[in-house]
Amino acid sequence: MDEVLPFPLLALVGQPELKTALILGLINPQLGGVLISGPYGVGKTTAVRGLLDLMPTVEHTWEDPAGQPHSAREPMRLVELPLNARLEDVVGGINERVAIEQQRVLLEEGILALAHRNLLYVDEINLLDPAVVKAILDAAAQGRTLVRRGPMTRLFPSQFFLVGSMNPEEGALRPQILDRFGLRVWVTPLEHPRARLEAYRRARGFHTDPAAFRAAYAEQTAALAEEVESARAILPHVETPTHLEEISLALVQALKVPSQRAEIALLEAARARAAADFRDTVTAEDICRIAPLALRQRHSMQIEQYSSDLAAERAMIDAALAALLSPTEPPVARRKRSTVRQIEGEA
């Protein structure tokens, strides 16, 4: 079978946010994954597959048939989750061939374990079975997958860079799922006629002769791939000044974002951008560039109202207690300050 050549990421017309978010995710998977939203035909899947030319090398480990461990440095792979995937396909389950031929139970890995140290792409994530989505997000958060069948269990490592895409016309993601994605990209359809014409011409050129078209972008693509590798090496040395950390937290609070994943995504993506720019210090520009990607779609009017109602109710309780209890009640002696009292003092 002929190899399917990906459309170069840098050949996409426009879409700077999309390209930036995907590149930053390759540099720092700790930013929490990328969710790409947009209508059909705007290049969501094309962009993700274009990352194949940019994949950094990572340490892959495996066991041979004799159970001996092996390892080698290889480029990250793109693992695509089929829309019709069953929960057992995703998490893992019983090896049916071994069960039939050898009359024994062998638990085998699923797609999540195959995605370990790779990029897992989930297209139309808003249409997946909720149980499958939960398994994916749990593995992404914990870095491992537990396969359980009756009394038997087996643990597989599942650390991966998660990219999801969706068309909001087909339905929204639940808030608890949306919150798990660090960066959120809205892919705006090209509006200028010249941009759309250029996109058509590039698509035609690629389909006419993929190899020749890719050759025209080979030098730029190779340079970007080297930059990604360099940025991954720089990333551990990148620091964020304290005042920018404080500004970032103030920004999150000013926007009334309840989830603490917001500041993690913001600061980790800012570190990735600094590394991509060959710097070891985050700047205010990094925060400004990343903030829309990390903080959009995070404010919840319902949570804000719920918190306000609880605060008002707490004030009523405190007022009632103050009216009933004597403020001069003598203190009771205790042997030492308890941990519970220390925790209460943090409130």
Question: What is the set of active-site residues?
Answer: 261
SS3 call for 155: strand
Q: Is 100 left (phi over 0), alpha (psi -120 to 50) or beta?
A: alpha
Residue 153: CB atoms within 10 Å: 10
Query: What angle, 0 to 180 degrees and rounded to 10, lies between the N-to-C axes of helices 16-27 and 218-234?
Result: 50
- The token pair at 28 is 């720092």
The sign of the dihedral angle between the CA atoms of 41, 42, 47, 50 is positive
Nearest to 182 by CA among 47, 340, 24: 24
SS3 call for 195: helix
* CA–CA distance, 277 with 109 (Å, rounded to integer): 38
* CA–CA distance, 116 with 93 (Å, rounded to integer): 17
- The token pair at 268 is 């980790």
* CA–CA distance, 186 with 201 (Å, rounded to integer): 24
- The token pair at 3 is 């190899």
Stated as kind and residue range, the H or E segment containing 71 is: strand 69-75
Contact between 13 and 190 (Cβ < 8 Å): yes
SS3 call for 306: helix
User: What are the angstrom distances between the C-alpha of 206 and each of 25, 45, 199, 335?
Assistant: 26, 16, 11, 78
Eight-class DSSP state of 45: H
Nearest to 202 by CA among 189, 219, 214: 214
